[in-house]
Chains A and B, each alone.
Chain A
């Protein structure tokens, strides 16, 4: 057990590895300088707390993605009523000619 802990200490990321500014870019979420600094501190504390999970021996344990394994649930592929074009566009921030208008993606 002691050997395992030594190994984990060397190979586990540290809570201080968190770089909020970089992660915010990954999440497409602009943060102010104040938010970045605040989250850096607060989430650092959350990760310090979560470092406790390193104590757990998870060798040979299968990960659980769901509470109960339910596989290959398929329903009949039958046509059924859906939204009309007008309904689908009802909440669009911008729409024209039956289309969503998006921000320009090419120069």
Chain B
């Protein structure tokens, strides 16, 4: 093994080398930096990096800690003290974190080194990372295609070997969908499992921070450090945090897996469908029992999601007023002109579109018909899952209906873009956990095969089970070993 191989290793592999003093944290960072310098001009996964600060942290790292000396890339929506935190928006250009998000503080305490902020759809609004105000990120498997979104930079960085692992945030699929399209592991924890303190708010009742990694074990290692109750987030759950990485091995005999019949919709790519069928047969061969289930309100999830998420976003983004921080329009005539132009010049098109939709569904005369009705349908969607989990231990589905699409293909058609989240946003509405893991490739006959993701959803706070299933699948398949570059 040479130094240039280091960025392609897993956390577990690096831990062995670091603890055996075969490499130093500085050498890992330098190798990673070199890889990024060479590759990122083609991928554009990163928005900023601070090598000097990271090297200083590396030299002081205690490799005996759980994540000692491991560099982690961080979505630009998560605050890291003194590092830029812009949400890829012009309105936050120049802003730097004033404190560490709770998830970051815990990772640092465990010895990890937050190294670099990754590209994203502006304020996490999008499914392709094309809504970044800075640049689009490219899919490492085919640079003409999108990496998914909104945590597209975090997924592409891990896939391209430009990060060992990374953090994303998931409001309607923003960790799982890019993980699927880039062929990496992405975990959305149960709502409240990880503190949202220090995550720039998009839709507060749906947002969760979670890990993206090369293996299920690495994702488990990150989550067990970040999870847990936090006095700075009143929605964080006061439940014990299991040692997920120590509980990965399990016998699947008798484990009941549900396939919701509503997820086998027309319009699902035939290669995705075939990969999911193969995955189910594989689980069956590992001893799991396959059970047909129904989630009757599946068809309503996407509309429910876009009403609730945009309503919450319109309120959360009211704070960007050009007074205390962020962009301010030049020479305002009066306060109304100050607000109107600051926000017009500072926000991109998709953010504006969602502020308008969210303001509308909350406005007088429309609140009951849209927002209140969506909240009631959300209850029905939660009940669907509660009933399904009486019959099964986990639910299996494709993560996305199709592999990665071409850059520009959907940017003019927001409704079609919104449908990219069709299999992921119900988990956010129900608050349950879900993971995406690699389960095959589409277009194998071409030069650019495209990864396919398998989603495993579990009961609230049952991350252990989800990790066990994902680990069993991963350890008996080779999909996660394939690399694009």
* Residues of A participating in the B interface, judged by any CB pair closer than 8 Å: 12-13, 17-18, 20, 23-24, 26-32, 35, 39, 42-43, 45-46, 49-50, 52-54, 56, 58, 61-68, 70, 73-75, 83, 87-88, 90-94, 100, 102-105
Contacts of B326 on A, CB cut-off 8 Å? 91, 93
Which residue of the partner chain, among A31, A64, A70, contacts B382 with CB atoms under 8 Å?
A64
User: Would you list the 3 A-B pairs with minimal beta carbon distance, nearest first?
Assistant: A67-B431, A63-B375, A91-B325
Contacts of A27 on B, CB cut-off 8 Å? 314, 343, 355-356, 359
Contacts of B481 on A, CB cut-off 8 Å? none
Rounded to whole angstroms, the CA-CA distance of A66 and B429 in the bound complex is 8
Contacts of A18 on B, CB cut-off 8 Å? 360
Contacts of B96 on A, CB cut-off 8 Å? 91
Rounded to whole angstroms, the CA-CA distance of A53 and B368 in the bound complex is 12
Taking a contact as CB atoms under 8 Å apart, the answer to whether A68 and B431 are in contact is: yes
Taking a contact as CB atoms under 8 Å apart, the answer to whether B324 and A56 are in contact is: no
- Give the total of B residues in contact with A, Cβ under 8 Å: 73
User: What are 7 of the A-B contact pairs (CB < 8 Å)?
Assistant: A28-B336, A29-B347, A30-B341, A45-B415, A61-B379, A74-B234, A102-B338
Q: Does B414 reach chain A (CB closer than 8 Å)?
A: yes
Count of chain A to chain B residue pairs whose CB atoms are closer than 8 Å in the complex: 169
Smallest CB gap from B304: residue in A: A53
Residue-wise interface mask of B (349-369) relative to A, using a CB-CB cutoff of 8 A (1 in contact, 0 not): 100110111011001011001
> Smallest distance from the beta carbon of B126 to chain A beta carbons, Å?
14
Rounded to whole angstroms, the CA-CA distance of A104 and B332 in the bound complex is 9
Taking a contact as CB atoms under 8 Å apart, the answer to whether A105 and B357 are in contact is: no
* Residues of B participating in the A interface, judged by any CB pair closer than 8 Å: 94-96, 98, 191-192, 205-206, 231, 234-235, 237, 297, 299-300, 302-304, 306-307, 314, 318, 321-328, 332, 334-341, 343-344, 347, 349, 352-353, 355-357, 359-360, 363, 365-366, 369-370, 372-380, 382, 414-415, 418, 428-431, 460
Rounded to whole angstroms, the CA-CA distance of A84 and B352 in the bound complex is 33
Taking a contact as CB atoms under 8 Å apart, the answer to whether A66 and B235 are in contact is: yes
Taking a contact as CB atoms under 8 Å apart, the answer to whether A67 and B415 are in contact is: no
Taking a contact as CB atoms under 8 Å apart, the answer to whether A68 and B363 are in contact is: no
Taking a contact as CB atoms under 8 Å apart, the answer to whether A104 and B365 are in contact is: no
Taking a contact as CB atoms under 8 Å apart, the answer to whether A52 and B300 are in contact is: yes
> Smallest distance from the beta carbon of B131 to chain A beta carbons, Å?
14
Rounded to whole angstroms, the CA-CA distance of A53 and B94 in the bound complex is 41
Contacts of A103 on B, CB cut-off 8 Å? 332, 334-335, 337-338
Taking a contact as CB atoms under 8 Å apart, the answer to whether A12 and B353 are in contact is: no
Residue among A53, A67, A90, A91 with most chain B CB within 10 A: A67
Which residue of the partner chain, among A24, A46, A64, contacts B414 with CB atoms under 8 Å?
A46
Smallest CB gap from A56: residue in B: B377
Which residue of the partner chain, among A31, A64, A67, A88, contacts B352 with CB atoms under 8 Å?
A31
Known contacts A66-B191, A70-B192, then 10 further A-B pairs from the complex at CB < 8 Å, ordered by chain A residue? A30-B341, A31-B352, A39-B356, A50-B303, A91-B95, A91-B96, A91-B325, A93-B323, A103-B335, A104-B334
Rounded to whole angstroms, the CA-CA distance of A104 and B338 in the bound complex is 10
Taking a contact as CB atoms under 8 Å apart, the answer to whether A68 and B192 are in contact is: yes
Smallest CB gap from A95: residue in B: B324
Rounded to whole angstroms, the CA-CA distance of A20 and B206 in the bound complex is 26
Contacts of A45 on B, CB cut-off 8 Å? 414-415
Taking a contact as CB atoms under 8 Å apart, the answer to whether B414 and A53 are in contact is: no
Q: A35-B349, A46-B306, A92-B324 are in contact. Are A58 and B380 (CB under 8 A)?
A: yes
Smallest CB gap from A42: residue in B: B414
Taking a contact as CB atoms under 8 Å apart, the answer to whether B234 and A73 are in contact is: yes
Q: A91-B326, A93-B328, A100-B324 are in contact. Are A28 and B300 (CB under 8 A)?
A: no
Q: A64-B382, A68-B460 are in contact. Are A50 and B372 (CB under 8 A)?
A: no
Contacts of A39 on B, CB cut-off 8 Å? 352-353, 356
Contacts of B373 on A, CB cut-off 8 Å? 53-54, 56, 58
Residue among B205, B237, B339, B359 with most chain A CB within 10 A: B359
Taking a contact as CB atoms under 8 Å apart, the answer to whether B359 and A23 are in contact is: yes
Rounded to whole angstroms, the CA-CA distance of A42 and B28 in the bound complex is 47
Which residue of the partner chain, among A56, A68, A94, A100, contacts B191 with CB atoms under 8 Å?
A68
Q: A46-B415, A56-B380, A83-B98 are in contact. Are A31 and B231 (CB under 8 A)?
A: no
Residue among A28, A64, A100 with most chain B CB within 10 A: A64
> Smallest distance from the beta carbon of A42 to chain B beta carbons, Å?
5
Residue among B324, B327, B429 with most chain A CB within 10 A: B324
Contacts of B337 on A, CB cut-off 8 Å? 103
Contacts of B324 on A, CB cut-off 8 Å? 88, 91-92, 100
Contacts of B205 on A, CB cut-off 8 Å? 65-67
> Smallest distance from the beta carbon of B141 to chain A beta carbons, Å?
30
> Smallest distance from the beta carbon of B210 to chain A beta carbons, Å?
15
Residue among B299, B304, B332, B415 with most chain A CB within 10 A: B415
Taking a contact as CB atoms under 8 Å apart, the answer to whether A35 and B299 are in contact is: no
Contacts of B429 on A, CB cut-off 8 Å? 67
Taking a contact as CB atoms under 8 Å apart, the answer to whether B344 and A31 are in contact is: yes
Contacts of A62 on B, CB cut-off 8 Å? 376, 379
